[in-house]
Amino acid sequence: MSNPNDWNQNIINEFRANAGKVGGPFEGKTLLLLHTIGAKSGKEHITPVACIEDGEHLVIIASKGGAPTNPGWYYNIRANPQVTVEYQTEIFQALAEVTIEPERTRLYARMVENMPGFADCQVKTTRVIPVIVLSRLQ
Condensed to tens digits (0 to 9), the pLDDT of residues 5-38 reads 788 899 999 999 998 899 888 888 899 999 999 9
> Which of these, 134, 137, 138, lies nearest to 55 by C-alpha position?
134
Distances (CA, A) of 43 to 36, 62, 73, 88: 8, 20, 12, 24
pTM of the model: 0.92
pLDDT category of residue 1 using cuts at 50, 70 and 90: very low
- What is the pLDDT, as a whole number, of residue 26? 82
User: What are the pLDDT digits (tens) for 61-94?
Assistant: 999 999 999 999 999 999 999 999 999 999 999 9
**CATH number for region 4-136:** 2.30.110.10
- What is the pLDDT, as a whole number, of residue 85? 98
Is a pLDDT exceeding 60 seen at residue 2? Answer: no
CB 76 within 8 A of CB 39: yes
User: What are the pLDDT digits (tens) for 111-125?
Assistant: 999 999 899 998 999
Question: What are the sequence ranges of the domains in the chain?
Answer: 4-136
